[in-house]
Amino acid sequence: MMMVCLADANVAMGRGVSFSFETTAAELDAVPENCRIKGPVKVEGELLHTGDLYRLRGVVRFEKEAVCDRCLEHFSCKESCAFDEEVRRTDDESGLAVLDDKVDISPLIRDTLLAAQPIHNVCRPDCLGLCPKCGANLNEGECGCDRRSLDPRLAALEQLLKK
């Protein structure tokens, strides 16, 4: 559990109170389906008491391993995602439980980490992927295949050009 003390923020009214945690994706129960979170998950942030509510702001840093959806190569990359959440002491709508002047931010961190995962894992933005004819990885060089795709509606015109 990652407990942040609200009493510390009460004392520092208007000034932020820093916090940091280190955990794993397994401890957070944050195991994405299409990748693996490797090593520690580092959380750094600030708790600010603004009068009637508390604001949690920070960043989650981790390293991800995945298979590229375009070229099918394994890759790893460092990622970070920000969070910004308001917590109220009574009738909390954020889903964060306030117990004895402490709030467990584990659900917030888990949700932030999982929501930051892309639908498609790509090793780099300019990944060329695989040749649809021979299956060669186009990031390693051209394969020589003719990959022109002709609109089937224009196939009759191509036959005319050949004549």
Structure-block tokens of residue 32: 């994405």
pLDDT at 146: 80
Letter for the amino acid at 66?
A
Confidence of residue 81 (pLDDT cuts 50, 70, 90): very high
Which pTM was predicted? 0.77
- Chain-centroid distance of CA 134 in Å reads 33
Contact status, residue 55 vs residue 48, Cβ threshold 8 Å: yes
Q: Residues 87-105: what's their mean pLDDT?
A: 72
3-state secondary structure of 158: helix
What gap in Å lies between CA 163 and CA 160, rounded to an integer? Answer: 5
In the chain, the percentage of residues whose pLDDT exceeds 90 is 47
Please, is 163 exposed, middle or buried when counting C-beta atoms within 10 Å of its C-beta (0-12, 13-18, 19+)?
exposed
45 contacts: CB under 8 Å, gap ≥ 6: 18, 19, 20, 56, 57, 58, 59, 83
What gap in Å lies between CA 104 and CA 86, rounded to an integer? Answer: 13
In the chain, the percentage of residues whose pLDDT exceeds 70 is 94
pLDDT at 64: 94
- The more confidently predicted of residues 148 and 118 is 118
Q: Residues 52-59: what's their mean pLDDT?
A: 89
Instruction: Please give the DSSP secondary-structure letter assigned to residue 10.
Output: H
Residue 72: is its pLDDT beyond 90?
Answer: yes
Q: Residues 67-91: what's their mean pLDDT?
A: 89
What gap in Å lies between CA 63 and CA 79, rounded to an integer? Answer: 6
